[in-house]
Structure 1
């Protein structure tokens, strides 16, 4: 779900690095001092669409921090948004109605997608069935970006709104480029851009901003480590070209049309995407595999993590009743109600055989086989539970937020990845000995119980996660402070062009030096040809000299 947020710094609290801009008018609001910020959030990738959910939670936290530093934020949201509220104490909002709602703003979008995928994996299917499923997926993906691109059209065609935004003299654009309509709006406003990003239209964000050799950098959708076999490297390269083709043929045409319509043929949408001043990458190399990076990439992985708070009395009583065995936490995010009951019943049966208590965030139909040790809740303070001294393990779907909270608190994971990057996230922790993955399509009570017991009884999982926690926390600055610093840095200096490579403007053959290689090969061939010709000439001359002597 696309949204933009316009912010201005001001108020009675002046942050140490705040900008004292001239008095300007906020969009649709009375005059106030400071600066403004525009922000857009949409997911990523050809493989991730949960934009309104976890993506907004991340962006909202950054907006809250900017507000706390004295910045005023105005969020431009769609009328059908189900996470971005119209009224909030730390931002103002402008609501835009689109001709049709963006598909991912429908709460059952991912549930439907998950159910179809699990059905295919659990019960098998014909080749045509797989082709039909992925064709439907690509069609839905194209439709999402077509619908999202209309947000820019609505802004550009509303001359009063556009003029008001332009007159307000905003300082920076903060965008989550998973659905990158905010990038186009930023170009129209001629403002520097900051990305709050992990995913872009073609996959993981590094693949747009930094060199990403497929020999050791896993591609989005390919769950492998950075130590790949020849076959895995072959598959990795195939996935790279496959993702690139999807991006060029399915996603980008909608934004290319938009850019050509309003900016002409000389402007490239992909260049706009690559031209962000700062990339706030929601990545920590404690979790991510090492890879090349660039000067304008700042790493803020785990920026949502924080110390735990005391639990509500009823939860604290339940946790304390677990005694020496402690408790297990389970949450599959917003997708939990999409799991078939046959799977949740197997999970419940496995939990019932454990001495630990279980707190399970579950919004669907009550599972069969539920034991007396299991408490079902529709909501829970996940961070506070993960930080509790009695927590023993976290059963999770592998979403990034939950992963980083587990790392922060040092809690080992039993992973049940369901969609998108969750498979890769669980694999990364498995490679570090801090998690055990379970295939949801093959899950039964015995296999799930064995995974739980391994993580609970083998101390190496907890020790490895504690080590990751120690590394993750050992930073000169909290990742959230890092994010706020770089946003304000761009505001102070009106961009960060000195940190941004201009290589994306080069033709592909120049970027890979194919023209240079061709030139050098041509010279080499010419020298070889000249040398061969000279040798032939000498040979012929020698032969002519020998003939008369023989006669």
Structure 2
């Protein structure tokens, strides 16, 4: 008996050792804040499969810790524009504009503020990347590390430019680029039925909405061409020469791991190297801490409402919180509200304020009835996964658009948090609580999302390892991004055909005139 066990143990140890030895080496350039939460999930999964992960972070990183059992940090002194102070200041400014401004000017003021801050962030990224490229010792260190690929978030072009410098395959953990939503960088995007993100349009647009969609597209193209590209063009020209275009480096990524799927996204054209992993961070609910479980169970048959405003917003204008708390106090449900600001005077006995809550686990609790959410992608995906209808209170960035998609699918109601009063908020809560269609539609979306042959996280890991094994995925990547715009849209072909047609018509006309004149002359003779 023992003689049979020894070879089995030996083979097991050998196979585990082979797995570790064959593990790849990944260089990660992430984005701080909520984006890091998503990236860290991929990093932990890669580490669990035996891969070595190095993460480039700034000394003032907000979420990205210097020490971790899952990765080795490479700390740089320069910040890249996504530090806590900058983002909190931007958030505060955006909240102030929306809370105080007249409704007719709010959107314009918000866009102008985002444009101004976007230029500042771009310059900080340029400065950070310049410092890296000028640090020859650091760049040599990265070269000698012999990485297998770069995993990056294309909201910052630093990752793609580093991948080009190191001649490494590139994989994106993506929903946004520095210019717009990720699909618009690489996939055909007919503006007749593909809505520009951030403007709460659907894939069923009226004529005026299609006009607006084209205008919004032109607006973002203007920002990209005149505010962002010139700064990075100067940098790439300095270090790589005029033939290297930084946006083409983004478009040339081997695999795009998209943090959405078509349960959330509207149907649209896509590309072979786009891999959908929407909801990859979602997982079955675990038991919640005992004090929360006791509070949830005290709700009886009425259940609980969960409210969270995400990672960036710690408090709201006092008037808004007072009105929302007063509305909650009139419900028979219990409410768990993540809020770190001043305790509202209208807070009811049914409401528990917490500085942190296990959002995924509470959404998966059988007593949870409604999720009051700001509309961040992670929260929306978790609500879909667990089938919990949403009362949306969007604040900024992509949040209104995310919630408008859920509203279009009948799984959410959306209110303007900056103009809401207690009666309106209470009415909206009761509508989502008692109108069965909201829960039924969200549970239908949940069933669609879960009905997949492979878990989204496993799919993402497969394609990362695929790129490692094959040193890229060039066979899935279109080269169309290298074409000039007039060739991409066949303008040159159309002009050529029009010229040939014009020449043929002209020759025919002159030929007919010539024949007619000859016939007339012959008759006269």
Normalised-by-shorter TM-score class: over 0.9
Alignment of 1:53-132 (within 5 A): 53-98=33-78, 102=81, 104-106=83-85, 108-121=88-101, 123-124=102-103
1:38 corresponds to: 27
Q: 1:373 aligned to 2:322?
A: no
1:9 corresponds to: none
User: Any conservation in 1 of the 2:315–2:339 contact (CA below 8 Å)?
Assistant: no
Q: 1:291 aligned to 2:268?
A: yes
User: Any conservation in 2 of the 1:80–1:101 contact (CA below 8 Å)?
Assistant: no
- Cα distance, 1:338 vs. partner? 4.3
Q: 1:363 aligned to 2:340?
A: yes
- Measured in 1, the distance between the counterparts of 2:455 and 2:285 equals 16
TM-superposition CA deviations, 1:368-418 (whole Å, max 9, x none): 311111000000000000000000000000100000000000000000111
Distance 1:233 1:17, change over 3 A: farther
2:428 corresponds to: 451
Give the SS at the match of 1:428: helix
Give the SS at the match of 1:394: strand
- Cα distance, 1:76 vs. partner? 1.1
- Measured in 2, the distance between the counterparts of 1:80 and 1:254 equals 24
Q: 1:465 aligned to 2:454?
A: no
- Cα distance, 1:248 vs. partner? 1.5
Structure 1 residue runs without a partner (length 5+): 1-11, 22-33, 43-51
Distance 1:542 1:240, change over 3 A: same
Alignment of 1:269-348 (within 5 A): 269-348=246-325
Give the SS at the match of 1:375: strand
Match of 1:246 among 223, 232, 244: 223
Greater CA deviation, 444-453 or 532-541? 532-541
- Measured in 1, the distance between the counterparts of 2:34 and 2:395 equals 15
- Cα distance, 1:133 vs. partner? 5.8
- Measured in 1, the distance between the counterparts of 2:77 and 2:390 equals 41
User: Any conservation in 2 of the 1:177–1:183 contact (CA below 8 Å)?
Assistant: yes
Distance 1:143 1:16, change over 3 A: farther
User: Any conservation in 2 of the 1:308–1:387 contact (CA below 8 Å)?
Assistant: yes
Distance 1:104 1:232, change over 3 A: farther
Greater CA deviation, 108-117 or 366-375? 108-117
1:185 corresponds to: 162
- Measured in 2, the distance between the counterparts of 1:17 and 1:249 equals 51
- Measured in 1, the distance between the counterparts of 2:234 and 2:506 equals 49
2:5 corresponds to: none
Give the SS at the match of 2:33: helix
Structure 2 residue runs without a partner (length 5+): 1-12
User: Any conservation in 1 of the 2:36–2:64 contact (CA below 8 Å)?
Assistant: yes
Q: 1:483 aligned to 2:472?
A: no
User: Any conservation in 1 of the 2:157–2:246 contact (CA below 8 Å)?
Assistant: no
Greater CA deviation, 229-238 or 106-115? 106-115
Alignment of 1:393-404 (within 5 A): 393-404=370-381
Greater CA deviation, 430-439 or 363-372? 363-372
Q: 1:164 aligned to 2:146?
A: no
State the TM-score, normalized to the length of structure 2.
0.94
- Cα distance, 1:305 vs. partner? 0.2
